[in-house]
A and B are shown apart, each in its own frame.
Chain A
Amino acid sequence: MLTRSLLGGMLLAMLPGSGMEAAPKTYKIRSIGRRPDSSAISVNFLTSSAPPADEAEATENWRITIFATNAPVARVTGVRIIDFQVSRLLELTFCLSNTDPCPANRAVLPPGTQAYSVTFQSASGVAVAPPTPFQKPVPAGGAAASSGKDDSTVYLFGGINTAVGTKPTFNIDAAVDFHPTTRGLGIKAATITDNRKKVDPDSFNVKLDYVYVLASPSAPPDGSQIFFQGLLLHWDYAGVEFDRKGKNLNFTTVPYVALPFTASMWDAAGNPLHTWNMELRAGTEGGSNFRNSLNPDGYGGILRTWAGASNAFILRKLGGFERITIGSSYDIRLPYKRELFNHPDADGNAVYSLSRKARHYLTNAVTFGINDYWGLTVKHQYGSLPPAFNFTDHKISMGLTYKFKEK
């Protein structure tokens, strides 16, 4: 009985005129835009914050304000739903005259218009688009957060390695990857180094590269997600590999192909929940060795088959973290002629030899994103990198990661 009374009271409170109506919602307009060749102003609500379609379709719910000297009053004459279910997009047509039908040339924004804005008000809520300049501004540059080393313009990882009874050691893993356009020329630089001189990777490289997308398949006929993203040709056409002391120096040119694969899970509002990306790559590293730790005159031409794979998972809103990124990368180099290899002895002393044995390099990293820029990273490394191929036997590091990209 009590329950029924409570329910009745709640229902009564929700009835119009009861004095207890729900507060109007604030809907969010993502952007407004104007077609130069028509009288229409397009309005795009945020997917997660849009009014019901029937309210959005009602002409009387809309107002257009024009900011200009002697600004005319704009009368909204119609609302055309373009794609409200998917992208919350509609168009408002308007007239700058009170006569019906709207006379010709009275449905375009007049010369001298500085800005315009749009207001929506319905029974359920309101939305206001800020004044939009008549000329669309050019997006400004800046820095933004990235999700990992592979997609960062600048990536910096500083780590500390500790073990019982030993002095702590430090290492740096940094990368710069700058491509002003999607296709075409760019520059890449990377370093993986450690403060221990004997056993750890000591690899720097700077490369000029070229990217061309050979194929990018369209969506399958059933409209499902695109799994295979395409085939890309990369050519790191001029690069140098060197170590800290400059004892080892290679010039390289590296053509390779990359095949990216992706899949994402989406929530009901169309936001990505979890993301998976994978890249397979294969190519050839060719060039010349100018000097090395065994021979200051170098051993001349080098040629290696190179193949690798990268894997990235992004899990969002998990365990109190904004984002957890799990990344793995594996590369194998198969030299055609004998190259330097450093496999340290039990005491950690460098033991150089020339060999054709396969050079593996594996990294695994888990980053717990504190915010968009900073993260706590636990990293595992195994293998060796050119030019000196100093072998690292399973090393675990922990550290802070900072990432940003050009906008």
Chain B
Amino acid sequence: MAKKTTTKKVPGKKGAKKKGHVVLIPKLTFVPATISATDAGCLSAEDASKLVQSSVGGAPHNPDTALKQIFPLTSARQAFCARVKQTATAAGCTRTSPCTPDTTLGEIADALTC
């Protein structure tokens, strides 16, 4: 006569709650925003700041950050400045902004501001 094999149930294995505790952490979220130039062809300080910050992307950046600090290669800086110009033009802004390695993000925003 063959022996019956039995399997023991491991208590709490199925459907058991995982260990852990929920805490609140800060999370930065991005939402779409429309920026548009005034009739004078320039942006409000708020819109100009949004434009420059979003052209870098990521977390909020210090307006005193110089372009050479984040774009040491010339082609990367040129592409960034082209993006700023392209976005500003699409928003109706006719102002030009500086793009030297020492130009800061704040100076670019200032140049686009009325």
Which A residues are within 8 Å of any B CB, using their own CB? 30-31, 33, 35-37, 42, 44, 46-48, 82-83, 85-89, 91, 139, 144-148, 150-151, 177, 179, 182-183, 211, 213, 216-220, 222-226, 229-232, 258, 260-262, 264, 266, 269-272, 275, 277-279, 310, 312, 314, 325, 405-407
A218 touches B54 (CB 8 A): yes
Alpha-carbon gap, A213 to B71, bound state (A): 16
Q: Which residues of B contact A275 (CB under 8 A)?
A: 69-70, 72
Q: Is B40 an interface residue (CB 8 A)?
A: yes
A314 touches B65 (CB 8 A): no
Alpha-carbon gap, A217 to B68, bound state (A): 20
Q: How far is the CB of A239 from chain B (nearest CB, A)?
A: 17
Select which of B30, B79, B98 is within 8 A of A223 by beta carbon: B30
Residues of B in contact with A, size category:
35 or more
Alpha-carbon gap, A269 to B68, bound state (A): 18
- A264's closest neighbor in chain B, by CB? B70
Q: Which residues of A contact B109 (CB under 8 A)?
A: 87
A150 touches B101 (CB 8 A): no
Q: Which residues of A contact B54 (CB under 8 A)?
A: 218-219, 223
Contact flags (1/0) for B80-108 with A, using CB distance below 8 Å?
A: 11110111000000000011111000110
Select which of B62, B75, B102, B106 is within 8 A of A271 by beta carbon: B62
Q: Which residues of A contact B58 (CB under 8 A)?
A: 223-226, 264, 266
A216 touches B86 (CB 8 A): yes
User: Are A87 and B49 also in contact (CB < 8 A) when A266-B58, A405-B100, A405-B102 are?
Assistant: yes
B63 touches A146 (CB 8 A): no
- B104's closest neighbor in chain A, by CB? A30
In addition to A36-B114, A182-B85, A229-B83, 12 A-B residue pairs with Cβ atoms within 8 Å of each other are A89-B45, A144-B102, A146-B68, A150-B72, A151-B73, A177-B74, A216-B86, A264-B70, A271-B62, A312-B72, A314-B72, A406-B100
B62 touches A312 (CB 8 A): no
A151 touches B72 (CB 8 A): yes
Q: Which residues of B contact A219 (CB under 8 A)?
A: 30, 54-55, 57
Select which of B40, B50, B70, B81 is within 8 A of A182 by beta carbon: B81
Q: How far is the CB of A84 from chain B (nearest CB, A)?
A: 11
- B59's closest neighbor in chain A, by CB? A266
Q: 3 smallest A-B Cβ distances: which pairs? A: A223-B30, A230-B79, A213-B82
A314 touches B60 (CB 8 A): no
Which B residues are within 8 Å of any A CB, using their own CB? 28-30, 38, 40, 44-46, 49-50, 53-65, 68-83, 85-87, 98-102, 106-107, 109-110, 113-114
Alpha-carbon gap, A225 to B54, bound state (A): 9
- A269's closest neighbor in chain B, by CB? B62
B69 touches A260 (CB 8 A): no
Alpha-carbon gap, A356 to B92, bound state (A): 53
User: Are A225 and B99 also in contact (CB < 8 A) when A37-B40, A44-B106, A177-B74 are?
Assistant: no
A83 touches B106 (CB 8 A): no
Q: Which residues of A contact B80 (CB under 8 A)?
A: 216, 229
B45 touches A270 (CB 8 A): no
User: Are A216 and B83 also in contact (CB < 8 A) when A83-B49, A258-B75, A405-B101 are?
Assistant: yes
A262 touches B64 (CB 8 A): no
Alpha-carbon gap, A316 to B106, bound state (A): 21
Q: Which residues of B contact A179 (CB under 8 A)?
A: 74
B78 touches A182 (CB 8 A): yes
- A136's closest neighbor in chain B, by CB? B110
A270 touches B62 (CB 8 A): yes
Q: Name 12 interchain pairs, CB-CB below 8 A, sorted by A.
A: A35-B44, A46-B62, A46-B64, A47-B64, A82-B45, A82-B49, A147-B72, A150-B73, A217-B83, A219-B57, A225-B58, A229-B83
Q: How far is the CB of B104 from chain A (nearest CB, A)?
A: 9
- B66's closest neighbor in chain A, by CB? A144
Alpha-carbon gap, A121 to B87, bound state (A): 37
- A86's closest neighbor in chain B, by CB? B60
Q: Which residues of A contact B62 (CB under 8 A)?
A: 46-48, 269-271
Q: Which residues of A contact B100 (CB under 8 A)?
A: 144, 405-407
Alpha-carbon gap, A214 to B81, bound state (A): 13
A272 touches B82 (CB 8 A): no
User: Are A262 and B106 also in contact (CB < 8 A) when A82-B49, A86-B49, A91-B45 are?
Assistant: no
Alpha-carbon gap, A272 to B28, bound state (A): 18
Q: How far is the CB of B73 from chain A (nearest CB, A)?
A: 4
- A47's closest neighbor in chain B, by CB? B62
- A268's closest neighbor in chain B, by CB? B59
Q: Which residues of A contact B28 (CB under 8 A)?
A: 223
- B30's closest neighbor in chain A, by CB? A223
User: Are A86 and B53 also in contact (CB < 8 A) when A213-B78, A277-B71, A314-B69 are?
Assistant: yes
A37 touches B114 (CB 8 A): yes
Most-contacted residue by chain B among A87, A150, A262 (CB, 10 A): A87
